[in-house]
Structure 1
Amino acid sequence: MAALPAAIWEALRMAFFMFWEVLWPLALGFLISALVQSVVPRESVARVLGRDGLRGATFATLLGAASSSCSYAAVAVARSLFRKGATFANAILFEFASTNLVFELGLVLLVLLGWQFLAAEVAGGLLMVAVLAVLFKYTLRARLVDEARRQAEKGIAGRMEGHAAMQHAMRDRLTAVSHFFYMDVASVAQDLVLGFLIAGALAAWVPNDFWRSLFVAGNPSVAQVWGPLIGPVIAMLSFVCSVGNIPLAAVLWNGGISFGGVISFIFADLLILPILDIYRRYYGGRMSLYLLGTSYVAMVLAGLVIGGLFQLLGLVPSHHAVEALQAPPSWNYTTFLDLAALALCAVLGWRFFSTGGMAMLRAMEGAPAPEHEMVHDHDDHHHHHH
């Protein structure tokens, strides 16, 4: 029986190596994201998103990039934007930008897989939003939207509902940033842990021959088309949202999936089964199937086009082993930056807990209060900090 504990230990070790490699970019990404969120008012936005067209789509994308990366939170915020007057198409575009064009995701990709993946992710993300916008324009029927609106108005709870209803009236910037930081961390924590554990287990237990045959790695021209088609399917079954997907992407890349396959895999975090179920609760069964179909087409196209384009430009990195899966942590810049990141988390954590943060986390997980927005006004207690 000595084999089993050894195997589990190996999986945990792989998971930890990957976590250690990306701890600081994660913290930095969450910090930048929190800073941006504390500046960008979400309420004035639904008005801008009230019309389809280039301007609406552009704002939806920019706003998405400036909000929380958690898929569940993004889906909840998208519904609240839809109910406040954004068009359905813009609400969904917001959601895709929010889970694919955010800082923490980009930084983790950069550190774990390299700049080519970051570039492809941004280019592919914009392309996917464009493809979706066109698909919605020509295939989204008004009747389907009305049906979705009736369902959305019922306000059936999904996950991270409170996240969508939060509004911050904090003049004290550090407090506001600490609250956004920990809300985001808390909302993706479960998926991140799952992502690292699943990735560690796959890296440790699944032999490379299996991956190679699954991705037809021996035949590059077939693999290039097959990768983007199968990437989203693997993601759907992985149940891991947003940043939690990146360690898995590293394992798939290690296993020989095509470059475009990695890209479409990363985009597919809004197709995981729990999210499809939330779509069903939010907008009804027909709309959830419609979103599944259109999203899948957009992802595959983005993966194929960006994969092909990067291949033509000679930007696709040669398949090499992902370093984080080989090298144990050592005293290099990663470790110093990680320790700095932990110190930052501690400072923000102290401020967060000393300003009623726990109550907010409970509110975020729960359902929003009916009718009135939750406004957190912590100003009164803070004048002595200035």
Structure 2
Amino acid sequence: MVNAVIDALRMTGTMAWQIGWSLVLGFLLASVVQAVVRRDSVSRTLGDDRPATIVKAAGLGAASSSCSYAAVALARSLFRKGASFTSAMVFEISSTNLVVELGIILALLLGWQFTLAEFAGGGIIIVLVALAFRVVLRERLIADARAQADKGVAGSMEGHAAMDMSVSGAGSIWSRLFSGRGLTSVSHIFVMEWAAVLRDIVIGLVIAGAVAAWVPETFWQSLFLSSHPALSVFWGPIVGPIIAIASFVCSIGNVPLAAVLWNDGISFGGVVSFLFADLLILPIIAIYRKYYGWAVTLRIVAAFYLSMVAGGYVVEGLFRLLHLVPAPGHAFTGDAGISWNYTTWLNIVAAVVAAVLVVRFVRTGGVGMLRMMGGSPDMGAHGHGDR
């Protein structure tokens, strides 16, 4: 038993070491973008669900990196401020699944093909979700959802989503960004984003390490129908989101588990559908219910799930046609251990950058703001008002 725990922790630690620098880089880039983009401007830009607006919503979401809980809260905030419901949901999908830090980690743990598949699949799923909402969401339901969203259901992630720390004023973007206020804004956003997503990253790494160390490969091969290639391709996108829902792991935290599943036989399309299902885990479904009511929540879940399954099929077929599906079993899952190489140097640089930003955060009163985010992601059940 002790050896099994040690093996799980070793794999967890090795995976964390491998992706540490990429997380810092990704959150730094996302913080820089958010420091120069005002959220009020975003909501005004997303007032309808025309194709051009959907494209803008996807682009702005990709530039506004968030953990899954914060993305859900931010989508509600945009919806309340005038964004269309479809645009808000597209923004939510994009801000958790089409972001630079996710792409970097996918390339490190799974390979560049998965990064390309994530972005290609994201576009497909966004189109499918937008089309589905045109069919299943009528004006009355949207009006009911807006009324429910205005009832003041909020929590720690809602407070995080409501904080607009962008830098405005005269001068170029670069002059504002490298001003004292700009550096402070970047440091605050950087630490806030880490605080919001750290729990999910740790849980995801621990689950991935435990699964890699404890669950026999034969179990996954049986579950994924690996001995039947045609059935496996069909079954993977169906079961992928279900595993994600059961694992309770969201945002970037599900990438290490995706690497384990890929090594153990899930199809390429199954990995894609699994990764996008971070917005369907049970705690987030409960938040949808509080924000928009059961009628709209059921339609969100159905539209998201079916779009993820269909997106997995399309990506699988397209990548096989282009001969871009990599050989299974080559994802990094911590077996190789830690050695002194380029990853070590990158982690040292990343640690220095992170330390500088944390010091700036503390010296400019960020601790008090961080305390405002305290509590569980779905504290809305207690009915606190917006801050």
TM-score in terms of structure 2 length: 0.92
Q: 1:166 aligns with which of 149, 163, 167?
A: 163
Whether the 8 Å CA contact 2:38–2:166 is kept in 1: the answer is: no
Equivalent position SS for 2:236: helix
Distance 1:327 1:62, change over 3 A: same
Aligned AA for 1:298?
S
Match of 1:288 in 2: 297
Report matched runs for 1:361-372 at 5 Å. Answer: 361-365=370-374
Matches of 1:320 and 1:208, distance apart in 2: 11
Structure 2 equivalent of residue 75 of structure 1: 72
2:171 aligns to what? none
Q: Which moved more, 1:157-166 or 1:88-97?
A: 157-166
What secondary structure is seen at the aligned counterpart in 1 of 2:259? helix
Distance in 1 (CA, whole Å) between partners of 2:162 and 2:113 is 36
Find 2:58's aligned residue among 34, 49, 61. 61
**Is 1:14 matched up with 2:11?**
yes
Partners of 1:326 and 1:346 in 2: CA distance: 29
The reply on whether 1:262 has 2:297 as its aligned counterpart is no
For 1:207, the aligned partner's letter is P
* Preserved contact between residue 152 and residue 385 of structure 2 (Cα < 8 Å): no
Does 2:363 match 1:354?
Answer: yes
The residue correspondences of 1:244-255 to structure 2 (distance < 5 A) are 244-255=253-264
Q: Which residue number corresponds to residue 108 of structure 1?
A: 105
What letter corresponds to residue 289 of structure 2 in structure 1?
R
Residue 323 of structure 1 aligns to a residue whose secondary structure is coil
1:271 to 263, 277, 280: 280
Supply the AA of the counterpart residue of 2:22.
P
Quote the offset at 1:139 in angstroms.
2.1
The separation in 1 between residues aligned to 2:104 and 2:59, in whole angstroms, is 18
CA contact (8 A) 2:10 2:334 kept: no
Residue equivalent to 2:173: none
| Residue correspondence of structure 1 range 12-51 to structure 2 within 5 A | 12-51=9-48
1:158–1:278 contact (8 Å) kept in structure 2 = no
Measure the CA separation in 2 of the matches of 1:69 and 1:57. 18
Aligned counterpart in structure 2 of residue 84 of structure 1, from 81, 87, 90: 81
Among candidates 182, 191, 214, match of residue 191 of structure 2: 182
Checking the alignment, whether the CA contact within 8 Å between 1:158 and 1:281 is kept in structure 2 is no
2:211 aligns to what SS in structure 1? Answer: helix
In structure 1, the gaps of 5 or more residues are 374-386
- Please state how far the C-alpha of 1:317 moved relative to its aligned partner: 0.3
Q: Displacement of 1:348 after TM fit?
A: 0.7
Q: CA deviation at 1:169?
A: 5.6
Equivalent residue for 2:330?
321
The AA in structure 2 aligned to 1:128 is I
| Number of equivalent positions | 369
* Higher mean displacement: 136-145 or 331-340: 136-145
Q: Give deviations 1:215-238, integer Å, cap 9, x for gaps.
A: 011111111110000000000111
Using the aligned pairs only, state the percent identity.
55
Is the CA contact (8 Å cut-off) linking 2:62 and 2:98 kept in structure 1? Answer: yes
In structure 2, the residue matched to 1:345 is 354
1:69 alignment partner AA: S
CA contact (8 A) 1:236 1:272 kept: yes
Task: Give the whole-Å Cα distance in 2 for the aligned partners of 1:145 and 1:158.
Answer: 22
CA distance in 1, matches of 2:278, 2:41: 28
- Read off the aligned partner of 1:91 and give its amino acid letter: A
Distance 1:265 1:169 in 2: 33
1:306 aligned onto 2:303: no
Q: Which ranges in structure 2 are unaligned for 5 or more consecutive residues?
A: 168-178
Structure 1, residues 170-229: CA drift from partner, whole Å, max 9, x if none?
A: 552211111111111110001010000000000000010001010011111111110000
Quote the Cα distance in structure 2 between the aligned partners of 1:41 and 1:59: 14
CA gap of 1:60–1:169, structure 2 versus 1, over 3 A, is: closer
* Normalised TM-score (structure 1): 0.93
Q: Do the aligned partners of residues 78 and 53 (structure 1) sit closer, same or farther apart at CA in structure 2, a change above 3 Å counting?
A: same
Residues 25-78 of structure 1: CA deviation (Å, up to 9, x unaligned): 111101110111111111112121111111211111111111132000000010
SS at match of 1:319: coil
- The alignment partner of 2:39 has SS state of coil
For the Cα contact (< 8 Å) 1:76–1:159, is it kept in 2? no
| Distance change (3 Å), C-alpha of 1:336 and 1:52 | same
Worse-superposed segment, 63-72 or 184-193: 63-72
> How far has the Cα of 1:158 moved from its partner?
4.5
1:306 partner letter = V
Q: CA RMSD in A?
A: 1.5
**Aligned partner of residue 361 in structure 1, secondary structure:** helix
The more displaced of 119-128 and 145-154 is 145-154
